[in-house]
């Protein structure tokens, strides 16, 4: 009688490892990641991409075309357009990351509490979310920044003084989506067996919420992060276009678009096209990556 070897069962992959294997096979993900790595390098290490100071302007070079060392020419103030586009990435990316961190901390904490305890705790937080959600995100940001645009922040100085007002405003109206996602995930997870097992072993509520439930409820939020960053970059560009976002002397793509919009039909369309291309490519890369992560983490969409 011949021995028949029993095949070993293959190791079952987790949701995260399965999603990673799915993502790395998608061309759109690879292209998006490469684009975003370049954008982050530009945002945090702009001196690697240009040696020209975007603040050095020569009125004699107003709207001049490309020359040696200035591949995109000059804007209406005689400033190098390429160096402005490079340095314009930093404030936009920094603002978006700061807002996302704040919204994750605030919205995640409130969402965990509301979803875990339910009842009156959930009712109170849900009504607060309804109040904030009743105000359109962009309209509320415009109104608040317009009201306090001339208010100085005495405890903050330097570069962050130009960014913090927009960061706080966008975070104030942006934490509700994170809270809703976390709340729904926690409400679904709190009835799982591992939660009952942890409770039967005497685990405190805080340990159950933040050590057991929260890591398993983060999947929907992970896909929201790239989408949120892309949306916040667009929101910052809109606010800066209206003169309510990041304040000069900082430069952002929104400020460049605002300055170049009036010259699009005046014979200098590149003043608008250059920052618009940087903005569109960056936002599109975040959106494509976020959609891919969402599809990979949701078995129903695959």
Does 81 map to a domain?
A: no
pLDDT at residue 299 tops 60:
no
Does 282 map to a domain?
A: yes
Does 2 map to a domain?
A: no
CA distance 244 to 237: 10
In this prediction, residue 37 has a pLDDT band, given cuts at 50, 70 and 90, of very high
Rounded average pLDDT over 196-203: 77
* Residues 282 and 89 sit within 8 Å (Cβ to Cβ): yes
Does 5 map to a domain?
A: no
Number of domains observed in the structure of the chain: 1
Max avg pLDDT among 20-29, 202-211, 221-230: 221-230
pLDDT at residue 8 tops 60:
no
In this prediction, residue 150 has a pLDDT band, given cuts at 50, 70 and 90, of low
Looking at residue 74, what DSSP letter applies? B
In this prediction, residue 218 has a pLDDT band, given cuts at 50, 70 and 90, of confident
pLDDT at residue 22 tops 50:
yes
Residue closest to 229 by CA, chosen among 87, 23, 39: 39
Does 60 map to a domain?
A: no
CA distance 266 to 277: 19
CATH code of the domain in which 132 resides:
1.10.3720.10
Rounded average pLDDT over 290-296: 83
Rounded average pLDDT over 74-100: 90
In degrees and rounded to multiples of 5, residue 244 shows phi and psi of: -120, 0
Query: 175 in helix, strand or coil?
Result: helix
Does 110 map to a domain?
A: yes
Does 1 map to a domain?
A: no
Q: What is the mean pLDDT of the chain?
A: 82
| Out of 68-72, 149-153, 236-240, 266-270, least confident range | 149-153
Does 56 map to a domain?
A: no
CA distance 297 to 302: 9
Where in the sequence is the domain holding 274, given as residue range(s)? 19-49+88-301
Provide the whole-model pTM: 0.84
């Amino acid at each position: 009688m011949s021995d028949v070897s029993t095949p070993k069962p293959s190791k079952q992959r987790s949701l995260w490892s399965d999603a990673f294997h799915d993502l790395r096979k998608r061309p759109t993900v690879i292209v998006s990641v490469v684009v975003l790595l370049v954008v982050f390098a530009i945002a945090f290490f702009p001196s690697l991409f240009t040696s020209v100071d975007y603040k050095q302007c020569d009125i004699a070079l107003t709207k001049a075309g490309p020359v040696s060392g200035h591949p995109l020419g000059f804007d209406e103030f005689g400033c190098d357009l390429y160096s402005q586009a490079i340095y314009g990435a930093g404030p936009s990316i920094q603002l978006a990351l700061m807002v996302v961190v704040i919204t994750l901390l605030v919205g995640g904490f409130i969402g965990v509490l509301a979803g875990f305890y339910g009842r009156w705790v959930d009712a109170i937080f849900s009504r607060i979310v309804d109040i904030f959600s009743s105000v359109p995100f962009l309209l509320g940001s415009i109104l608040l920044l317009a009201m306090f645009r001339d208010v100085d922040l005495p405890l903050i100085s330097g570069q962050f003084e130009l960014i913090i007002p927009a960061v706080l405003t966008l975070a104030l109206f942006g934490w509700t989506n994170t809270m809703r996602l976390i709340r729904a995930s926690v409400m679904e997870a709190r009835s799982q067996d591992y939660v009952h097992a942890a409770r039967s072993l005497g685990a405190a509520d805080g340990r159950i919420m933040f050590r057991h439930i929260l890591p398993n409820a983060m999947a929907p939020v992970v896909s929201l992060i790239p989408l949120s960053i892309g949306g916040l970059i667009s929101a910052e560009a809109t606010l800066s276009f209206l003169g309510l976002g990041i304040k000069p002397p900082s430069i952002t793509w929104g400020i460049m678009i605002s300055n170049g919009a009036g010259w699009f039909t005046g014979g200098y369309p590149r003043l608008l096209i250059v920052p618009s291309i940087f903005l569109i490519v960056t936002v599109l890369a975040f959106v494509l990556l976020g959609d891919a992560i969402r599809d990979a983490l949701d078995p129903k969409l695959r």
